[in-house]
Structure 1
Amino acid sequence: MLPLLGHAQGGAADTARLAEVPARISDYEVAPGVTYHYEKPRPFQWLYHIPRDVGQLPGYAFQRRHVPALVGVVASTAALWVADQRIIDGAQQFGRYVGLKATDSQKSLVDVPLHVAAVNLPLQFNVPDNLNSCFYYLGDGWTHLAIASSFWLYGGTHRDNRALQVSSQLGEAILSTGLVVQTLKHLTGRQSPYLATHNRGNWDLLPAYNTYQHFVPNYDAFPTGHLSTAMATVTVIAENYPEYRFIRPVGYSLMGVLGYAMLNNGVHWASDYPLGIALGYAMAKIAVYHGRTRVGTASRPVGLAPQRAWWRQARLSPFTTGPFTGVAVSWLP
């Protein structure tokens, strides 16, 4: 009987300990009648969802309801391109007037030499050492990594699925945006302002890969990666925390400061901004959509595929075309 008594006591103790552990928070009422359910994200879910998100971008962007926004992006890009040289000259003149340095200058806090075989891969962490560089640093990858990590740490320590999902969505949206932006940069090959050989810079469409890599700033101005990443970050956080109405005003104000800093230091033209901002917003909306479920509704935004893994959407079927036979691959709607 003693072993049974000991087991019963141990079970009671275990129950008491479990009662002390806070329950995992998964459902959040963000407005009267609006509740979202968040699953705990799987490890590295943000990474293997990137192909799905990029693949869904055309279906999300080219919808009838988005036609006004698409027209706005094209029209604003064209209008800003016409005025690009005057805008950047005025921005830099204002910077000189208020004593704002136009250089992107940083100092290294951590610099650890690291070599893998014959490849030099130093581990560096730099911080800005003037005001304009501080503004420019708002779009730096370290900034957004710190924000995503903060949500991950908070979510893990407080058993908060929403914060964990925000961290996952940030990684997903930022990297998806970066992939699309870098592809467009390699296609358009636009000169950065500080290297421009004539007004509004040169466009070298489809530059050779080695040429591009040899001197990246001569080809990577369009569209902006810093503002697209910033827009993705602000959108993911604001969409998941709509009860905090200050997020968008503060985020957009900081993006405005970042946008000016890039004009002042000659990294970007103003016409590089509309498309970059639109891409960041779209990729963030797709990541948010897949990262939560509204409780009590089965409605789905038009243009987004069902929530299933992208690699499971492939459908194989035989085909015959003239003398050729084989297997065709299509994607489930």
Structure 2
Amino acid sequence: MTLLLALGSAAAAPTPRPDSVAAPRPAALADTVRPTAATAAGAPADSLPAKPRHARRTDYTVAPGVTWHYEKPRPFQWLYHIPRDVAELPGYAFKKKNVPMLVGIVGSSVVLYAFDQLITDGVQRGGRGLGITAEDKQRNLFRLPFHIGSINLPIEYNAPDNFNTSLYFLGDGWTHLTIASSFLAYGIFGHDNRALQTSSQLGEAILTTGLATQLLKHLTGRQSPNVSTKPRGEWNLLPNYNDYQNAVPQHDAFPTGHLATAMATVTVIADNYPEYRFIRPVGYGLMTVLGAAMLNNGVHWSSDYPLGIALGYGFAKIAVAHGRTRLSPATGLALPKPWYRRAQPAPFVYGPFTGASLTWRW
């Protein structure tokens, strides 16, 4: 059954006459190449040889009965999906199945907050005992001046110059950019849609997570341990923008952005490559090291971690859910989508009238 909704200069959408045109939706797998009987048997003698091209891989069986289909992502798809992901997070977070997780986030944050100062002092004493200082030491490798009006936004890269800074760099933006770029390069040169989608989902999840954590930092204004004026730090709710920018460590402890983006990165990769079971243990191990390093150098309190980690996990799950489709093991076809995701937009022409149409088929 087909339901057609047309919008345009016509008041209604009557049954199209033979002279009407509705542009068809492009084939979902138009970029997939599969050998045909003609190509296998060889072309006729009077035909011209077709230019060979590599087959693009789209379907991946990751476990018995579990096959995922990946479309090639559109350019900058990750960027304009950010508003959608932000809007979907509350619905995802407050699902009934996620209630225990929410209770765990709140409970662990409260318990850790009660012991924040003791935990921070203990980790820093242990670090000094191991000869790991809290000094943030970096060396500049390149710097490109860049201005937007009176705002100075240089493009630069600083490399860590001691052990503690190297651990802290596990959560640096350059680390995640390198990982996402690696998947992008492999997807392009290997004609691999899963790698391309993973790169796109990484950009989507990391940027959305970064925006959410920055918003919360600007709302809560919690002091970092290395500049705190009282045990567990002051909370300066809704700090003035200029005050925040002039003294960032005085306001940006809660929640953690480094662990949030690290969790988003690990979750996206692990969900798209579940057959590689080492991804989560290695990723969580590196996140533990990063968390300890940030306590050691006084950037974060331990109670900054649960909410940040949860945000990264949630946004990664949303990005992955929209970036692939599970195929039915019986038919090899995509499993049905919810009705609200079945709309097919197309131009609509009826005599002298033009407009746009939305078609639902079920």
Which category of TM-score, normalised to the shorter sequence, fits these structures? 0.7 to 0.9
User: Structure 1: how far apart are the matches of 2:342 and 2:218?
Assistant: 31
Deviation at 1:156, TM superposition (A): 0.2
Aligned residue identity for 1:298: L
Tell me how large the CA RMSD over aligned residues is.
2.1
Matches of 1:177 and 1:99, distance apart in 2? 34
Distance 2:343 2:227 in 1: 46
Hey, what's the Cα distance between the residues in 1 that align with 2:337 and 2:129? 52
The structural deviation recorded for 1:121 is 3.3
Could you say which structure has the higher helix fraction?
1
TM-score normalised by length of structure 1:
0.85
**1:43 maps to amino acid:** P
* CA distance in 2: counterparts of 1:293 and 1:284, whole angstroms: 16
Match of 2:251 among 203, 219, 233: 219
Aligned length: 297
Contact (CA 8 Å) 1:290, 1:307: kept in 2 or not? no
Distance 1:115 1:279, change over 3 A: closer
**For 1:286, which of 301, 318, 327 is the aligned residue?**
318
The reply to whether residue 149 of structure 1 matches residue 181 of structure 2 is yes
Structure 1 counterpart of 2:238: 206
Note if 1:23 corresponds to 2:93. no
Where do residues 95-110 of structure 1 align in structure 2 (5 Å cutoff)? 95-110=127-142
Structure 1 stretch displaced more, 288-297 or 250-259:
288-297
Structure-2 separation of matches of 1:192 and 1:11: 72
Code of the residue aligned with 1:46 in structure 2: it is W
Deviation at 1:135, TM superposition (A): 0.7
Hey, what's the Cα distance between the residues in 2 that align with 1:101 and 1:90?
14
How much does 1:205 deviate?
1.1
**1:318 maps to what in 2?**
none
Which of 203, 218, 222 lines up with 1:190 in the alignment?
222
Paired AA for residue 194 in structure 2:
R
> Structure 2 vs 1, CA of residues 100 and 123 (structure 1 numbering), >3 Å: closer, same or farther?
same
Q: Determine whether 1:80 maps to 2:104.
A: no
Query: Displacement of 1:120 after TM fit?
Result: 3.3
1:119 Cα deviation from its structure 2 partner: 4.3
Alpha-carbon spacing, 1:59–1:306, altered in 2? closer, same or farther (3 Å): farther
The sequence identity of aligned pairs, in percent, is 64
Alpha-carbon separation, structure 2, partners of 1:205 and 1:168: 34
| 1:289 shift after superposition | 0.1
Aligned pairs for 1:1-333 within 5 A: 12-13=48-49, 15=50, 17-18=51-52, 21-115=53-147, 118-296=150-328, 298=335, 306=341
Deviation at 1:215, TM superposition (A): 1.1
* Secondary structure, aligned partner of 1:71: helix
Describe the shift of the 1:269–1:10 C-alpha distance in structure 2 as closer, same or farther (beyond 3 A).
farther
Q: After superposition, give the CA deviation of every residue in 1:140-197 in whole Å (9 maximum; x if it has no partner).
A: 0000000000000000000000000000000000011111111111111100000000
CA offset at residue 101 of structure 1? 1.7
Question: Higher relative CO (CA 8 A, sep ≥ 6), structure 1 or 2?
Answer: 2
The gaps in structure 2 that reach 5 residues or longer are 1-43, 329-333, 346-362
Instruction: Write the distance in 2 (CA, Å) between the matches of 1:50 and 1:308.
Output: 21
Residue identity opposite 1:195 in structure 2: V
Instruction: Kindly report structure 1 stretches of 4+ aligned residues shifted beyond 6 Å.
Output: none
Cα shift at 1:207: 1.3
Give the TM-score, by structure 2 length: 0.78
- Structure 2 CA distance for aligned equivalents of residues 307 and 245 of structure 1: 34
